[in-house]
Structure 1
Amino acid sequence: MSRLNPVSRASGGGVSVGQVLLHLLPAVFLFALFACVGLLHVTSRVLVVDMGYRLSKAEAEERSLIRENDRLKLELATLKNPARLEKLAREKLGMSMPAGSRVVALPAELPGKKRNVRVEARDARGVRVAERGAPH
């Protein structure tokens, strides 16, 4: 009874395409808004996961560098060992401890005072000795 026949719609008594689009426009905007919010949420989650992977990789690199630093500190301590240095000096460089009379104690230098230094090299039994000369 309230049904319109197709002829009356075509003649202008019915709903136009513009009116239908006008009624659908809020729904389309709402859908677009939800889609944008969803994309932003997914993007932020992807960025958080990516940052977590980068943080994990950086922590693993930190642990590796700390291990290498500890190894290098141990190697340095081993290389600076006085007993090892003395052994190398005796065996490879042919050095020996000087006699007590050959050891010269120098006075301590004051921080603000400059001194003229003269270096000499002597040959005594094949040993080169460097000495500081007296100030001029």
Structure 2
Amino acid sequence: MTQVSARNSASVTTVLLHLLPAVLLFTLFAAVGILHVTSRVLVVDMGYRLSKAESEGHSLTRENDRLKLELATLKAPARLEKLAKEQLGMMMPPGSAVVSVQPQLPNTRRQNPGETRKPAGLRVAERENAR
């Protein structure tokens, strides 16, 4: 009986040694397949994210254009003048009331520190017709 059991154990070991390369090859193919499927899933997911980001970018661009148009409409001089007259009770000043003075830049120096400043370029604006 000892001969039979020694022979069976040797045959099981021999069979396992013959199957080992096939099992390793199968495991390798399974790992490569899993990695390939995982990478494809990640690529598809990234494609969906990119598509969503592009859609959001187009949406934000349209909203930005709409807001620019609204800002330009709100800043229109005719609209501001109308609001000033109607809501604030303002009116155009008479021509002699508008005075234009040229500003002196803060980093320009006078030649003589004791010299008094003279108004330079004093102009009075005239309007042809007061509204």
TM-score, normalised to structure 1, is 0.72
The residue aligned with 2:104 is 109
TM-score, normalised to structure 2, is 0.75
Q: Which amino acid aligns with 1:91?
A: E
For this pair of structures, how many residues does the alignment match?
A: 109
The counterpart of 1:10, out of the listed 4, 9, 18, is: 4
The residue aligned with 2:89 is 94
Alpha-carbon distance in structure 2 between the residues aligned to 1:62 and 1:11: 75
SS at match of 2:107: coil
Residue 32 of structure 2 is aligned to residue 55 of structure 1: no
Alpha-carbon distance in structure 2 between the residues aligned to 1:103 and 1:21: 106
What is the aligned-residue identity percentage?
70
Q: CA deviation at 1:49?
A: 0.3
- Consecutive unaligned residues of structure 2, counting only runs of 5 or more, are 110-118, 120-131
Q: Residues 69-88 of structure 1 correspond to what in structure 2 (within 5 A)? A: 69-88=64-83
Q: CA deviation at 1:108?
A: 2.5
The residue aligned with 1:36 is 31
**More contact order relative to length (CA 8 Å, sep ≥ 6):** 2
The residue aligned with 2:129 is none
The residue aligned with 2:21 is 26
Answer with 21-30 or 101-110: which moved more.
101-110
Change (3 A) 1:11 1:52: closer
Residue 61 of structure 2 is aligned to residue 66 of structure 1: yes
Q: CA deviation at 1:68?
A: 0.2
Q: CA deviation at 1:107?
A: 1.4
Extract structure 1 runs of 4+ deviating beyond 3 A: 11-15
CA RMSD of aligned residues (A): 2.2
